[in-house]
Amino acid sequence: MSDHIKTMGQQFGRRSWAEPWKIKMVEPLTMTTREQRQRAIEEAGYNTFLLRSQDVYIDLLTDSGTSAMSDRQWAGMMLGDEAYAGSANFYRLEAAVQEYYGYRYVVPTHQGRGAEHLISKVEIKQGDVIAGNMYFTTTRVHQELAGGRFVDVIIDEAHDPTSLHPFKGNVDLDKLQRLIDEVGADKMPYVSIAGTVNMAGGQPISMANIRDVQALCHKHGIKVYLDATRMAENAFFIQEREEGYAHKSVREILKEFCSYTDGAWMSAKKDSLVNIGGWLAVNDANVFDKARNLVVIYEGLHTYGGMAGRDMEALAIGIEESVQDDHQRARIGQVRYLGELLNEWGIPIVQPIGGHAVFLDAKRFYPHIPQNEFPAQTLAAELYLDSGIRGMERGIVSAGRDPQTGDHRYPALELVRLTIPRRVYTQAHMDVTAEAVKAVYDQREATRGLQMVYEPEYLRFFQARFARL
Ligand SMILES: *Cc1c(COP(=O)(O)O)cnc(C)c1O
């Protein structure tokens, strides 16, 4: 652990980190009364995704597309080359992906799920099995729609919110080997690796683990693809926690990690500090050819993929900013500041504190609410009611139904994610947030669960509606 962070929160001899930027422009926030919030959450069917942002004070729904761009990125927006074909900004983006992630071929997409769609269509056949270090919502649904079945091979510690394992995003190699033995390598086109693992609480995967995953997969002719959405943040954890990496930069670690994989998809709305954008990158010319052909059907021409030229310019600059050590130290330091306050006050959160968010453990928060009465959905609604802070359910609602049986999936983790946008909120916002969580915690025994009154077929957490029991 770096000295800056180790001393955080100590009263004496304290040496704080601070953000490596200052504020040039501000965006006023709306303050609301409890009566207004009561009306708003009822209208939203107790689903924070259905709230209007005008009714939200501190918006911790997601870190996706919500980060603040730098003055350099905004200046880059003015350099947009909006040519339909061959935009100069695409070539800047392509060069940045090649330089910082190290892959050979780049296909731009409008955001991450666009890239997931393309790679799933190219690589997956009906009846295939995709192993991965815990599912992600959009990733898995594209794998399933392409005919695949997702199997979780993450280490058991990832499902235990109290485990202090430093790399809870690691793949369990025995589980992976057993799966290969059971279904056969010919049914497994690739293994789907994410860094950091969102659904486990923003937990990193180690360099040693990806090396072992690559060795095992390549022995069986299975590819390794990376969900690189928060891989720059993962690189910071490797620098901090893994032997041999303390003196390597985030930039070097990121590139080394990617070198053990055959390609990646990216939601640039996270690590890369832009409001919209994504890409798919691979090393195999044949896969590239197919993906580049599909992109013109689903996204746009292969030199813009659904992004404007100016978006690609901002993204190219954002990639460079995202791999700066000082940036990651402040970004992850802020998340940790919030988490450590909640720890001090005895509020149950996922340990260790992850990269992009603090995850409240709704099962321990509301032990009296059974999982099919949606404890995490309830907690997110209560937090909004208390103070206008918006978080997101990551539990039974997000897990959806098993396509085979039609039943709810019952995930071990029932969480509310307080996701911190990059470079947006101050330490005082983190204090206010922690105090609001404490107030809701103090009221926990009087809180009852919810029932679902409307359920969409796909990715139900986005649009489902609830009512109080
Ligand atoms: C957000 C996200 C995606 C999907 O990307 P979008 O840009 O939202 O389409 C995929 N994987 C992970 C890990 C994500 O966080």
Q: pLDDT band for position 11 (50/70/90)?
A: low
Q: Kindly list the distances between the CA atom of residue 52 and the CA atoms of 41, 49, 85, 328, in Å, as whole numbers in the listed order.
A: 10, 8, 37, 30
As a CATH number, domain 71-322 is 3.40.640.10
Per-residue pLDDT reduced to its tens digit, 270-287: 999 999 999 999 999 999
Instruction: Dig out the tokens for 205 from the structure.
Output: 């995967």
288 catalytic per annotation: no
Per-residue pLDDT reduced to its tens digit, 334-345: 999 999 999 999
Q: pLDDT band for position 17 (50/70/90)?
A: confident
Count CB atoms within 10 A of the CB of residue 362: 27
227 catalytic per annotation: yes
Q: pTM of the predicted model, to two decimals?
A: 0.93
Which runs of E-coded beta strand occur in 239-395?
Answer: 263-267, 278-282, 357-361, 389-390, 392-394
Per-residue pLDDT reduced to its tens digit, 92-125: 999 999 999 999 999 999 999 999 999 999 999 9
**Whether pLDDT at 7 is above 70:** no
C-alpha of residue 402 to centroid of ligand 1, in Å:
21
pLDDT for res 1? 42
Residue 356 and residue 201: Cα distance in Å, rounded? 9
241 catalytic per annotation: no
Q: Which atom of ligand 1 is nearest to the CA of 194?
A: 13
337 catalytic per annotation: no
**Mean of per-residue pLDDT scores for the chain:** 96
C-alpha of residue 127 to centroid of ligand 1, in Å:
24
Give the CA angle between residues 205, 207, 209 to the nearest 5°: 65
pLDDT for res 10? 54
pLDDT for res 2? 46
Residue 113 and residue 145: Cα distance in Å, rounded? 13
C-alpha of residue 297 to centroid of ligand 1, in Å:
21
Ligand 1 proximity of 227 Cβ (cutoff 6 Å): yes
C-alpha of residue 185 to centroid of ligand 1, in Å:
27
Count CB atoms within 10 A of the CB of residue 301: 17
pLDDT for res 384? 98
Domain boundaries, the chain: 3-63+325-468, 71-322
Residue 7 and residue 14: Cα distance in Å, rounded? 6
Kindly name the residue from 374, 441, 461, 466 that is annotated as catalytic: 461
**Closest by CA position to 386, among listed 443, 461, 335, 341:** 443
Kindly name the residue from 227, 262, 271, 311 that is annotated as catalytic: 227
426 catalytic per annotation: no
Ligand 1 proximity of 136 Cβ (cutoff 6 Å): yes
Ligand 1 proximity of 234 Cβ (cutoff 6 Å): no
Decide if 258 contacts 252 (C-beta within 8 A): no
User: Domain 3-63+325-468 is of which CATH architecture?
Assistant: Alpha-Beta Complex (3.90)
**Whether pLDDT at 5 is above 60:** no
84 catalytic per annotation: yes
Count CB atoms within 10 A of the CB of residue 462: 13
Kindly name the residue from 39, 71, 72, 84 that is annotated as catalytic: 84
Instruction: Dig out the tokens for 261 from the structure.
Output: 């994989």
**Whether pLDDT at 420 is above 90:** yes
Distance of CA 302 to the CA centre of its chain: 26
Strand 357-361 and strand 278-282: pairing? unpaired
For residue 176, the surrounding DSSP H or E stretch is helix 173-183
Q: For tokens 């044949």, what's the residue? A: 286
